[in-house]
Amino acid sequence: MQQLLIAGRYRLLDLVGTGGMGRVWLARDEMLHRDVAVKEVVPPSWLAEAEREELRLRTLREARTAARLNHPNVVRIYDVVHDRESPWIVMEYVQSRSVQQIISAEGPLSPQRTARIGLAVLAALRAAHTAGVLHRDVKPHNVLVADDGRVVLTDFGLATFDGGEGAMTGPGTVLGSPQFVAPERAREGVSDPRTDLWSLGATLYATVEGQSPYARSSAMATLSALATEPPDPMRRAGPLGPVLTGLLQRDPWRRLTAAEAEPLLRHAAAEHDRPAAPPRSSAVAALRSAGRARAPAPVRAAGQPDHPPTSPARPTTRPRRRRRLIAIGGAATALLVAGGITVALVDRHNERTPPSGSGGGASSARPAAFACATPPPPPPASTPVASVAPPAEARYRLRDGWTWHDDPTGFRIAAPVGWARWTEGSVTCFRETGGARVLSVESGPVRADPVAHWKAEEARLTTGDGLLPGYRKVDISAMDIFEGGAVWECGWENAAGDQVHSFRLLANTSAERSYTVSWLTKEFDWQVNAAYLPMIRQSFTPAL
3-class DSSP state for residue 146? strand
Residues 202 and 110: their CA atoms lie apart, in Å, by: 16
- 345 touches 518 (CB < 8 A): yes
- 496 touches 470 (CB < 8 A): no
Helices assigned H by DSSP within 158-315:
183-188, 193-209, 219-228, 241-247, 258-270, 282-287
Host H or E run for residue 335: none
> DSSP character for 543?
B
CA angle, 278 as apex, 273 and 279 as ends, to 5°?
95
Which one is catalytic: 14, 79, 83, 137?
Answer: 137
Residues 181 and 487: their CA atoms lie apart, in Å, by: 39
Residues 490 and 502: their CA atoms lie apart, in Å, by: 5
56 C-beta neighbours (distance < 10 Å), count: 16
> DSSP character for 463?
S
CA angle, 222 as apex, 220 and 228 as ends, to 5°?
105
- For the question of residue 137 being annotated catalytic, the response is yes
477 C-beta neighbours (distance < 10 Å), count: 15
Q: Which pairs with CB-CB distance under 8 Å and at least 24 residues apart come from 468-475?
A: 468/359, 468/369, 468/492, 469/493, 470/499, 472/270, 473/272, 473/273, 474/273, 474/281, 474/284, 475/273, 475/278, 475/279, 475/280, 475/281, 475/284
Residues 489 and 297: their CA atoms lie apart, in Å, by: 23
Residues 412 and 304: their CA atoms lie apart, in Å, by: 17
Give strand pairing partners of 405.
413
| Residues assigned a catalytic role | 137
